[in-house]
Amino acid sequence: MSGVMTERPTERLNERPPLVVILAAGKGTRMRSDRPKVLHELAGLSLLGHVLALSEALGCAHPAVVVGPDMAAVEAEALRLLPGASICRQERQAGTADAVRAAERAIMAHDGDVLVLYGDTPLLTAPTCRRMREALGKGAGVVVLGFEPEDPTGYGRLIRDEAGNLLAIREHNDASETERAIGLCNSGVMGFDARTLLSLVAAIGNDNAKGEYYLTDAVAIARERGLVVSTLTCDEAEVLGINDRSELARAEGIWQARARTRAMRAGVSMQAPETVFLSHDTELGRDVTIEPHVVFGPGVTVGDGVRIKAFSHLEGARIAPGATIGPYARLRPGAEIGPDVRIGNFVEVKQATIAAGAKVNHLSYIGDASVGAKANIGAGTITCNYDGFAKHRTEIGAGAFIGSNSALVAPVRIGAGAYVGSGSVISKDVAGDALALTRAPQSERPDWAARFRRRHERAEGATADEADTNGGDEEGERD
């Protein structure tokens, strides 16, 4: 860390949560999308949602979210995820300093640190933000977060003197060839003392190539006023901004790698971690084993000792300890899988509770249902839950046995310990310990198959004789 040390302010304790100002007014035209850029998703959560989650992690439950005009969807997303957020509208997009001015009311009401973050930069971490706050607490009036990319083209450069003190930030379009050769770049993330932020912003002009008000100009103004200006650096991945879909895919890969590493360090085994995809809110217990090619959508909680076999897809499901899922299983929202349950290959479960020890091992659909403890659901069983207008429930009692290829037409109840014969279509309640069958009685016709084959063999022979009578094959004719 380096800084200009003239008239260093007294060090202060910044125990109060910071104010987080999130700039989210950009339309993101390079995304080629009808959706605002910050609403595109990373690990099942909008880019804006990741930055709001960071704000919460830093103790700021009331961030100022700066949006552009006609961005009702962005406003709604911010308030859905963090109801305490303050929506600030930037009527015209005239640069980052102009965007910060839009949050003036929130800044004026705050006494402490202000962190300016971006709604399209979802990988920034709380430890890095805390380092910025530490610098502010030691007397810095401005803190700039820098990084060293492989290719600095397009990024603003951090201009420092021989002692390493930050002099200014030069936007790429305004930089000289010498300045463009500098490898240390501006991430855009900045920290301020709220007491000075607005006065710095008010002094920023727009005499530059784009005619915009750059927040980065606050550095030179702060130096002129004798304020401490500090720089910190972080890994390039943390400040990766999302401008197009290729960068979104890159960010997804970085996020997934982080999440897999955290999971494995917490006691999860992954046989091929690069093939497992987690969601922003996936919760995994200890001694969970995840086989290759498993995808977690949002809202999945997995208990201790669960094994999730290959090629399974889970979303909105809770899995109790000791259960086995897959391979090729699909758990949809509302799936409640009890302890030691077995959900097998090509089984789909939706809005259903599967109680302890039950088995649904093969080729079945269990939807809008409850399955009792230690019940056995045979291969090919379907709960027929939808009549074209409404969903209806199926209740299967503890210890019931549902034979293969059965259709349970809801609403229907299968009592505890009942048996349903294979191939049955059950549309009425079945009492506990009863046997329900809807198959027609089996009949047998002796020697029918042999007679059937002989009849077809005679017909085929007659057809061949007719072909010979009509002139034989083409090869014989040529001879």
Structure tokens at 253: 């890969």
Please give the torsion angle defined by the CA atoms of residues 171, 50, 232 and 6, in that order, rounded to the nearest 10 degrees: 80
Q: Is 100 exposed, middle or buried (0-12, 13-18, 19+ CB in 10 A)?
A: buried
The DSSP call for residue 239 is G
Contact 20, 63 (CB under 8 A): yes
Structure tokens at 142: 């401005």
Q: Which of 223, 224, 202 minimizes the C-alpha distance to 213?
A: 202
Active site residues: 362
Residue 115, amino acid: L
What distance lies between CA 476 and its chain's CA centroid? Answer: 71
Query: Can you tell me the distance from the alpha carbon of 445 to that of 451, in angstroms, rounded to the nearest whole number?
Result: 11
Which residues lie below 8 Å from residue 207, measured CB to CB, with a gap of 6+?
none
Query: Can you tell me the distance from the alpha carbon of 176 to that of 190, in angstroms, rounded to the nearest whole number?
Result: 23
What is the Cα Rg of the chain in Å? 33
